[in-house]
């Protein structure tokens, strides 16, 4: 299995390529959708990394993939400017996933 990155900037892609991860730079929601279609057809992609900004553009589609496909595992990552998520994003995720307040 391999990892693949969908990024909104060249710097993030360059850093990932240094780690041996292939990917693409896109900027529009339609381009992200096209890349998702391509990746879902490629059975070798086991982990899909996508920058948070692009993930926000196609959030409903990512949720659908997470619920209906076994692979790829989708991981939202911050870009070189840092994360848009708040400090309590993990707590919020747990609360939404299992309904438990921690």
Look at residue 60 in the predicted model and tell me its pLDDT: 93
Look at residue 102 in the predicted model and tell me its pLDDT: 56
Given a cut of 60, is residue 26 above it in pLDDT?
Answer: yes
5 strand-pairing partners: 23, 49
Given a cut of 80, is residue 89 above it in pLDDT?
Answer: no
Look at residue 1 in the predicted model and tell me its pLDDT: 86
Tokens of 36: 């998702």
Convert the pLDDT of each residue in 30-88 to its tens digit. 999 999 999 999 999 999 999 999 999 999 999 999 999 999 999 998 876 656 655 55
Provide mean pLDDT across the span 81-99: 61
Helices (H), the chain: 10-18, 29-41, 52-57, 59-68, 89-98
Given a cut of 70, is residue 8 above it in pLDDT?
Answer: yes
Class of the domain covering 2-98? alpha beta
Look at residue 98 in the predicted model and tell me its pLDDT: 72
Look at residue 78 in the predicted model and tell me its pLDDT: 83
Tokens of 56: 């926000």
50 strand-pairing partners: 6, 76
């Amino acid at each position: 299995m391999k990892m693949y990155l969908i990024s909104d900037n060249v710097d993030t892609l360059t850093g990932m390529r240094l780690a041996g991860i292939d990917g693409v730079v896109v900027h529009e929601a339609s381009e992200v959708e096209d890349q998702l279609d391509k990746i879902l057809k490629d059975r070798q992609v086991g982990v899909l990394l996508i920058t948070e900004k692009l993930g926000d553009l196609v959030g409903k589609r990512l949720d659908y993939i997470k619920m209906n496909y076994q692979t790829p595992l989708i991981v939202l990552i911050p870009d070189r400017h840092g994360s848009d998520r708040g400090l309590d994003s993990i707590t919020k995720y747990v609360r939404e996933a299992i309904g438990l307040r921690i």
